[in-house]
Amino acid sequence: MGYPFAARILGEVTKFDILTGWLAFLVFIPLAATSNDWALRKLGTVWKPLQRWTYAAAVLTLLHWASLHNWGSWVPAAIHFGPLAALSLYRVWYQYFRKRPARAVAA
Ligand code: HEM
């Protein structure tokens, strides 16, 4: 019989590809647990900043996927995350950099 299950998990947790998977998983737990109306009401203004951790989890997942098999997985990871990154960049541009019509000044 091989060494115990928990020891095997702990033994590989220091590998970058596995560590990023675990960290993403840990970030997703509070996000999943608070994705309901009750938590939304209870957490009030804290809810939104908490949910923003999803961006950190997304980056960790990208690193997890890309670094698998000695970084041999970066092409499929890039293909899947490319559209997501493009949409996020568009959102940032739309919110902060787009030209808006000048506001009318009160007389
Ligand atoms: C809980 C800790 C995690 C561990 C130990 C882990 C481990 C692994 C391993 C060993 C593989 C490679 C499988 C193979 O090609 O033979 C893999 C693939 C992958 N994992 Fe994780 N993972 C974890 C969490 C996550 C999380 C939270 C996500 C995202 C929600 C994720 C997304 C992926 C993706 C997208 C792949 C590539 C799938 C493919 O090649 O088609 N993993 N993971």
pLDDT in tens, 8-41: 999 999 999 999 999 999 999 999 999 999 999 9
How many angstroms does the Cα of residue 22 sit away from the middle of ligand 1?
Answer: 9
Ligand 1 close to Cβ of residue 68 (< 6 A): yes
Query: Model pTM?
Result: 0.89
Say how many Å lie between the first and final Cα of the chain, rounded. Answer: 84
Backbone angles phi, psi at 98, to 5 degrees: -70, 145
CA dihedral sign of residues 93, 86, 70, 8: positive
Ligand 1 close to Cβ of residue 20 (< 6 A): no
